[in-house]
Structures are given as structure tokens and as C-alpha cells.
Amino acid sequence: MLVITVVAASDGCARLPYTTTTIHQSQLVHVVLQQEVKPAGYTHPVQLTAGQVASMLRGFSLRSEQRVPLRWFADEQPPQTMLRDDEIARLAPFLVEAFQEAGPEARVHFSLSAPGMNRVDAKTVTSGWMAVRDPYLYITIEYYHTEMPIRSSDRYLPNNPQMPPLPGSFLLFFEPGRFWSIDRSGVRALEYREFLKSASAGRSTP
Amino acid sequence: MKSRWLWVVFLVLSVQWWAMPCASLAADSGRLVEKDGQYVFVESIDPATRLLLERALKQGTITQEEYNNVIQESERRAYLTQPSFKAWYDRGFNLSMNDNAFLLKIRGFVQIRFTQRFRNDAWRNPGEAKNFPELLGVFGDYRANRSENDASQFNLRRVRLMFMGHLFSPDLKYLIQLAGETAENAQNPGSVQVLDAAVTSTHVPWLNVMLGQYKTYFNRAQINNSMSMQFAERALVMDAFTASGLNRRDIGLTIMNDEEIYPVNYYFGIFNGLGPGFNRFGSFGSEQPTEGCSGGQSGGTPTGCDTAQRNLNANFRSDVSQLMYVARLMWNVMGRPGYGEGDMVYSETPQLAVGGGYAYNPAINTATDNGFIGTDLANLNVRRQLATYGNGRQLGWGVLDYSTYAFDVVYKYRGFSLQAEWYWKNINRHQKGAPYLGVPGAGTGGYAPALLGNATGWYAESGYFILPRKLQAAVRYAWWDPDTNAAGDLIKQVDAALTYYISGTYDHQVTLQYSNVFIGTGGYALARSAPLPSPPVALNSFGTVPLDAVQRNLIENAIRIQYSIMF
């Protein structure tokens, strides 16, 4: 078994998307390009403006998806706005840059941080990733206002490793709903070019 | 010498005081509140009021200055009317003042284990009397650890309650950890005891100070938290080579730098060296009424001392000025692998660290310095700790100085991990000659036929996350020579474990582990091997029969299923 693990490690084959390029990193915003581990065939790079990205992000809302069997009994909560205006303003320029630099096998991963309940120990994170495969823009949210440890080791219990929680599962919604489609593989995605051409995009563009 | 150390402590505390940053407060325009398990950002000002104000500003009804003043006043009012504390759950129950000057975090840790054990006939006779003997009664008579072949038992292996947080500032932290658990071989139900009671200053990143009772920063296997092990239990060799040789915890002071800032980390500590909840005031010897004459003498009486009179009165507090010194250095060559075992975080880049530690723990009294060295009275707490951690072969050899070395390496990458550690313990006996065991006769008495040697050992373990963050397989091999002067005493251990992490963190897991342990019973152990000390000194619980009269090696196969939750 040791031999198998050593071989597996030296092979170094990735089983999760991994970071290849950091577009921007600050205390509040972190945008990177992640290499997909399976062929993705995105139509990157994509030329977008910050206003276009902002208008798309403004249309999204979400609701956390309950696990079965809670899903059958729990009351459904109304969807919440995915990103506030100030968050979109901080994030959009870096997403534009990321989509310009991304290749066909890379996705754009973003993370927005705010001080946590105990600001020296935790941050509140909203993160996810986006990608474009014409005519669709895909978006997945991994964390939504989730408390995460700042350090990898516990500040209060020495040498207790700190792990972020596993990514959550969220149901995404988009307004106007006619642009929130299902692609050929059955995945929800935004027909972003149609949306950007529409009057609703124009109204929300700053 | 001691005044020099006092100056060092004073200097450290002075630097800490000077480097304390001034407290500063910042007001937010809103805050995150937890509602139904979600964190929601709530503006301090009512949205309807804000809308009306913005419209009024737009229409020119109010000026920008008036708008700003109203907003500020409203936020100030909201700030003043909110509760002065907040409570929430995040890796424990948290209670904090709004300015974050005080934090109380309460955590619990429960580990429930089922053990199915198969032992060979050697565990019936001779049993384990050399490395892990049981010590009975006031005098700590030796008894072999013997058992039937098969065992099936549930066990509360770890039950912990932790109170931690910070006081006055986030850089003055405290930790109190209570334990109420039972070891697999314990004879009594576990009582609640204080495991950790420590205060840590992190005001200066390159000079953190930890004071109190806690795990010494010496070897990697012990520094790691028991919740983040790749196996249900540490290997036997890991416990045998703690800094003190008695326990992984001790009372003292450590200075170190911040592990997450500097690529090279140092740790330097001064401790009592006698384990948790104890100090050298409890270290004693027995003397005859004449000063300088050791008690229990029956032969080889020192000049000027009375001849034989038994005196196990533990009347003399000896070696009360001794302290243990522990140093460790670690270099994060690539990345920062940390101390947690396994690459749960699924490192995107290779993580490599090497480290080494040195510990000097002088004057551990394993038996009183007298003619009956090997059987006479020494502090039972010290002797039992030695036996619990597998250092039972060192019992009875008088006063010992331990110099222990540890070197470790760890590598992690994309779910794979490899960790290894090598140990060496140099044992210096204050009484250089062979111990006198009394007048020879009937298989007893004379001089000990062999002398205690040093000890060494190593382990290597490797793991791989079959499902990232969820399912890990791990294997381990450990090797240990408890007495380099003895033959046939090696201890070899093989473990394989499969762990499922229910929540994708270390905090909730189920482990299935298989262990094979081989223990050699060879070599000479004082008061357990022939020749035994002469009566009337207490020998062992079997009279004049050596505990290793039957020479067979011990083999144990065990399957452990363990459920752990930290909340």
C-alpha cells in the first residue's frame, strides 16, 4: 500500500481543480484561474466590461439547498441577493481581467471576504467560480457568507488544524428568468450574450 | 544559575509588554448576524429611512452635510442600543464582547472506541512486565500485565471539555482542557483531571510566550493534536520518547515564534520535567536517621553509616532544584505542512518540513539510592508514568538523566502524506556500577548481571485521501529498541487505518484500524528478571519467581473502530 501511495504521489495527478494564475489577491477579494482536471472546452478568453459583469452578477440570487431528507420537510427560505452592490463593484474589474486571461481549460474562481464574528480568527466568505462556454455563462457558488478560519492552525487550541467547511450546495436564480436556461447537458446557465443585448442588461449597467 | 533564568523570564515579559499594540476600535456601518444558520449582513440603519433620506438628498430637501450627520447619528444610535455581547456557534460555542476584547469558546471532544483484540498465549505467561509493568500498592511492586487471548470492549478513549479564548486583547489567550477518559488498560474509571491550563501571549510574532501546563514542543507526533491523527492511536514508540520520558504534558514556560509567519520556527521551553500536575517537590529519597546515609542498606554500607536497617521513609526531598529543558527547530522547506497528519486540505503545491528536538530531563528518581536499588521506594507517580509510557525497563536504576533527541520530516501533496521520525534517548545513571541486590541465595541477591543501555526507535507513516477531504487510507510501521544493551527486546508495530471524515474536517470522523504489535520479552529488567533482590524487600507480586521465567514474545492483533466528534 505504501508503494501504491508513493507512486500515486510522485505521479502527482490532480483530482481537484488547481490554481495556475493569481489575478488579484487582497484581504477582501481573491480572484484566480483554476485548471480543470477534466476537459472542459470553455470558450475563453472572453472580452467583457466591468459594467457587463456587474449587470450579470446583480441578477443572481440564491438559496441554500437542504439535504435529503430535510429537503422534504424544511420550509423553503426566500432567495437572497447573491452579492451586494459594493461586493460587485470590488469584484467585477478582476473578473474582467480573469476572463481575458483564462484559457479553454481554466475557470475563474473568486472569493470575497469580510471580517468574521471573531475577526482575529475567522472571516466571512462568499466564493465560487465562473466559466463561459458560448452561449452560456456558468456560475457555481461554493460558500455563501460562511465563517472560515483565517489560519490553518487553531489560535486557541495549539496545533489543532483548522479546515474550512466543505462547499455548500446552493440553488441559483436569475432575473429576468428567461435568460436562465438549461444547456444540453442539463446544467443551469445564463445565456449571457442574449442578456447583455437585452434592455434589462442596459438598465442595470452603470 | 536560577537567578539567570529569572532574568530571562523578566526580559521576555518586558519585551512582550513593550510590543503590545494599542487597542483600537472601529465602527462598522453594518454587521453580519447569524440567522437560521446563515450569516446575513444587516445595515445599521433602517433601509426605509435610508431610502427616504437618499430621496430627500436627491430632491434637495436636505444638504449633503445634513445627510451625513443623520446617517452617522443613526449608526451611532444603533451601535449603542445593540447588546454589548454576541454569541454564536463556529467551531465551538462562542461568547464575545462586541469590541472583541474578551472571548470564551467552549468546545467538547468525545472519542468512543470498540476494540477487538487477539493476543497470543505469551500474554498469559510471561505477560508484559518489562516495558509496561503494573505497579501495585504503596511500594509500587511490579506485576506483569497479563490477559486472556481475546477481548471485545467499548471504551471512552477521549472525553474532553475545553474552555479557551482571549482576555483583554486577542493576543492574550487562555486554554483550559479537562479530561475524563479511560485508557484501554486502566483499572479504574477515569476521573476528571486538568490536562491543559495555559496562558499564551502572541503580542510579538517572533516571541510568543506560553506559560502553564500543556504539551511540550518536542517531537512531531506529540505536538499534533489527537483529533488530527491518521490512526486511532499513536504508535507505542511515539509515547516512549516524549521530552520528559514520563508524559507528553508538563508545567513550564515556552517561547516560540508564530508558525504561520516565519519559515523557520523555534521553540524553547523550561519545565519541571515530572509530568502534568506535579513538580520536583514530590521527588524524594529515603535516608537513615544519619544524614547522607541512604536507607534500606543491607550490604556495602558507606563509611560512617550504620549497618543494615530498613528505612523506606521517603523523608528526603531530593533534586528539587532541577528543571527540564526542551528545544525544537523546524524548517518549512516548501509551503507549510503544519502538524496535523494527512493532507486533508489537499495541498495544491508540495509541502515539506524538517525538524529536530532536544530535551534534557535530569535526575529522574526511578528508585532510591541505596543497597536495594531496583526495588526501593521512589515517587510512585513518577514510576507509574514511566511504566504507562512504555519506559518500564528504566525503573529501578536509581537516579537517571535523560537526553532525548528527535528528528522528523513531513511531506504533503495533493492528498498524499508521508511522515517519519527518529528518536534517540541517552540515559545517564548517577549510580555507575551494577546495582547490589542483596545477599545471594535461592535465585536472588548478588549484583545485577547487566546494565541498562540507551533507547532508540523510529516510525514512518503514509496516507492518501482516496476521496479528497472525505476518505483516507494510511499505513504505519514503528520500530523501537527500549534497551540497547538488551537482546530480544525489540518492539515492532504495523498499523493500517481507513478513516471517513463525515463533515470533511477533522472534527467528525470514523476510523477503522488494524494493528499488529510484536513485543520482545528478552533482556534484563531490575526486580523482574533473575536474580531478584533478596527478601525481605518487596520484589514483585509473585514472590521469588522472576516475571520472565517463561521466555516468549508477545504478539497482539487488534481491530479498533473509533468514532470521534469535536464540537
Q: Which of B28, B35, B38, B210 to mutate to test the interface with A (most CBs of A within 10 A)?
A: B38
Count of other CB atoms within 10 angstroms of residue B260: 15
| Burial class of B7 by CB neighbour count within 10 A (0 to 12, 13 to 18, 19+) | exposed
Q: Which residues of B touch A116 (CB under 8 A)?
A: 32, 90
Q: Looking at beta carbons, which residues of chain B come within 8 Å of A127?
A: none
User: pLDDT above 90 covers what percent of chain A?
Assistant: 43
Check CB contact under 8 Å for B228 and A117: no
Of B41, B259, B507, the CB nearest to A153: B259
Residues 465-484 in B contacting A (C-alpha not used; CB under 8 Å)? 468-469, 473, 475
A158·B94 Cβ contact <8 A: no
Those residues with Cβ within 8 angstroms of residue B23's Cβ, 6 or more apart along the chain or in another chain:
B101, B169
Q: Nearest-CA distance from B224 to chain A in Å?
A: 6
CA distance B365 to B319: 9
**What's the pTM?**
0.84
Report the gap between the CA of A163 and the closest CA in chain B (Å): 6
Residues 47-66 of A with CB under 8 A from B: 64
Q: Which of B177, B202, B338 sits opposite A161 (nearest CB)?
A: B338
- Copy the grid coordinates of residue A135: 452561449
Across the A/B interface, how many CB contacts are shorter than 8 Å?
138
- What span, in angstroms and rounded, lies between the C-alpha atoms of A162 and B286? 50
Pairwise CB contact (< 8 Å): B348 & A19: yes
State whether residue B198 is helix, strand or coil: strand
Q: At what angle do helices A85-101 and A50-58 cross, to 10 degrees?
A: 130
Reduced 3-state DSSP string for B71-119: HHHHHHHHHHHCCCEEEEECCCEEEEECCCCCEEEEEEEEEEEEEEEEE
Cross-chain Cβ contact B166/A156 below 8 Å: yes
Find the closest chain A residue to B177 by CA distance. A157
Q: Other CB atoms closer than 10 Å to residue B68's CB: what's the count?
A: 12
Over its C-alpha atoms, chain B yields an Rg (Å, rounded) of: 29
User: How do residues B101-160 score in pLDDT, each as one tens digit?
Assistant: 899 999 999 999 999 999 999 999 999 999 999 888 777 788 888 999 999 999 898 999
Contact B505 A15 (CB under 8 A): no
What digits encode the pLDDT tens for the residues A79-119? 888 998 889 999 999 999 999 999 999 999 999 999 888 88
Q: Which residues of chain B neighbour A15 with C-beta distances below 8 Å?
A: 414-415, 468
**B344 in contact with chain A, both atoms CB, cutoff 8 A:** yes
Indicate yes or no: CB of A117 within 8 angstroms of CB of B475.
no
Tally the C-alpha atoms within 13 A of residue B91's C-alpha that lie toward its C-beta: 26
Which A-chain residues 123-142 have CB contacts (< 8 A) with chain B? 124
Interface test with B, best of A28, A163, A166, A169 (most B CBs within 10 A): A163
B164 touches chain A (CB under 8 A): yes
pLDDT digits (tens, 9 = 90+) for B477-509: 999 999 999 999 999 999 999 999 999 999 999
B413/A12 touch (CB, cutoff 8 Å), yes or no? yes
C-alpha span between B130 and B519 (Å, rounded): 10
Contact yes or no for B224/B355 (Cβ under 8 A) = no
Asked whether the beta carbons of residue A158 and residue B414 sit closer than 8 angstroms, the reply is no
Flag whether pLDDT at A206 surpasses 70: no
Q: Where does B280-432 show beta strands of DSSP type E?
A: 284-285, 316-317, 324-334, 351-365, 399-413, 416-429
pLDDT of B71 reads: 82
Domain ranges of chain A: 17-204
| A161:B469 CB<8 A | no
Put simply, the chain A residues between 64 and 83 with a CB less than 8 A from any chain B CB are 64, 77, 80
Contacts of A140 (CB under 8 A, 6+ apart): A128, A129, A130
Cβ of B227 under 8 Å from any chain A Cβ? Answer: yes
| pLDDT tens across the length of chain B (567 residues) | 455 655 655 555 555 545 444 333 333 455 666 555 555 666 667 778 878 888 888 888 888 888 888 888 887 777 777 777 888 888 889 999 888 889 999 999 999 999 999 999 999 999 999 999 988 877 778 888 899 999 999 989 899 999 999 999 999 999 999 998 877 777 777 788 999 999 999 999 999 999 999 999 999 999 999 899 999 999 999 999 999 999 999 999 999 999 999 999 999 999 999 999 998 888 877 766 666 666 555 555 666 676 655 556 677 787 888 999 999 999 999 999 999 999 999 998 999 999 999 999 999 988 865 555 555 678 888 999 999 999 999 998 888 999 999 999 999 999 999 999 999 999 999 888 888 777 777 777 788 888 999 999 999 999 999 999 999 999 999 999 999 999 999 999 999 999 999 999 999 999 999 999 999 999 999 888 888 877 655 455 566 788 888 889 999 999 999 999 999
User: Quick check: B38 and A19 CB within 8 A?
Assistant: no
